Amino acid sequence: MLKKYLSYLIVTLTFGFLLFTDPAFASRFEEVHVYNLNVREVAGESVYNGTWTRRPGTDIFDAVWNESIRDLIEIESVRGNRIVFYRYGNNGRYSGKFSENGYLITGTASWYAPGWYWEAWVTE
């Protein structure tokens, strides 16, 4: 039984996080055609530029900011033009809203101070 289960289980070690990808981790949001995001986070006078790359067939993104900060991001929910991402490294949430054309997301995050924001451009 264990051998059969292990044949379906792939363990991926990425950036110090163990992420088990089996059918339970398959994409719940396939209709969200967000594959890569160019992200800009403005935290007061600090700016963090990043790229979030979606793993095929999942809701998981490998995220890198300023070429040195790394984390895992997951689509947590989508309702209309609103989206919530979960960030594993700090147990925080990004909340955002898609623009009318669907190519820009703007929002805030659970750990942000007032006036801080993030924006992301959808690329393929």
Read off the pLDDT of residues 11-53 as tens digits, 9 standing for 90 and up: 333 333 334 444 444 555 555 667 799 999 999 999 999 999 9
Question: How far apart, in Å, do the first and last CA atoms of the chain sit?
Answer: 40
Phi, psi of 6 (to 5 degrees): -65, -25
pTM, whole model, 2 decimals?
0.76
Domain boundaries, the chain: 28-123
Helix or strand or coil: residue 122?
Answer: strand
CA 70 to chain centre: 11
Give the residues across from 109 on adjacent strands: 94
Give the pLDDT score at 101.
87
CA angle 113/118/120 to nearest 5° reads 170
Among 3.40.718.10, 3.40.190.10, 2.40.160.90, 3.40.50.300, what is the CATH number of 28-123?
Answer: 2.40.160.90
Taking Cα atoms as reference points, which of 84, 63, 58, 83 lies closest to residue 73? 63
Taking Cα atoms as reference points, which of 72, 77, 103 lies closest to residue 87? 72
Give the pLDDT score at 33.
63
